[in-house]
Amino acid sequence: MFRWYVVNTYSGHENKVKQNLEHRIVSLGQQGAVRSVVVPTEQVSEMKDNQKVTVEKRTMPGYVLVNMDLNDDSWSLVKGTPGVTGFVGASNEPVPLTQPEVDRLLHKEVATAPRTRAQFQIGESVKVVSGPLSDFSGEISEINEDAGKLKVLVSIFGRETPVEVGFDQVKKI
């Protein structure tokens, strides 16, 4: 029975392990036992040089998902792949993922817009470049990555006033 299993790898070597595993599946004739090997990723929007750039980030660094029919041959195939440190679960009995876990990890539930990641830190000085408060400078007091907004303390008439702006409305000073 084909189930999804999580394989532990050296962090940063996920794609190499995927390539090695796919090569070993073909060379050892195990195509019938292993259906697919997936490195879970997501699209993330980042601000680079005041430009919004979409990049692919690993959602589970150090792990690879394998859809396979677990038997002694397929277990040793995966376990013997360079870069694999083992399965998630008991040392000799890997635990398969449930269907909701698989759907969540592989983003099957809903196609969402790329998530924006802040390139800012609390306490950092920024300048507002668009909107009604353009040309004002201030210090970041709060970061809301989910909404893609910053709370910036801007000096208006000599008083510090918190202002909420989008990531794309400010630039670092």
Q: What's this model's pTM, rounded to 2 decimal places?
A: 0.62
Token duo for residue 128: 């507002």
Separation between Cα atoms, residue 84 and residue 14, nearest integer Å: 9
Choose between 51 and 142: higher pLDDT.
142
Q: Is the pLDDT reported for residue 88 higher than 70?
A: yes
- 2-115 CATH fold: Alpha-Beta Plaits (3.30.70)
Question: Is the CATH number 2.30.30.30 carried by domain 118-172?
Answer: yes
* Residues contacting residue 10 through CB under 8 Å, at least 6 positions apart: 17, 62, 83, 85
Taking the domains of the chain in order of start, what are their residue ranges?
Answer: 2-115, 118-172
CB atoms within 10 A of CB 52: 12
Separation between Cα atoms, residue 81 and residue 117, nearest integer Å: 34
Separation between Cα atoms, residue 114 and residue 43, nearest integer Å: 5
pLDDT tens-digit series, residues 97-153: 998 888 888 875 444 555 556 688 899 999 999 888 888 999 999 998 878 889 999
What does the CA dihedral 136, 116, 14, 34 come to, rounded to 10 degrees? 180
Question: Within its chain, how far is the Cα of 78 from the centroid?
Answer: 23
Token duo for residue 69: 């029919």
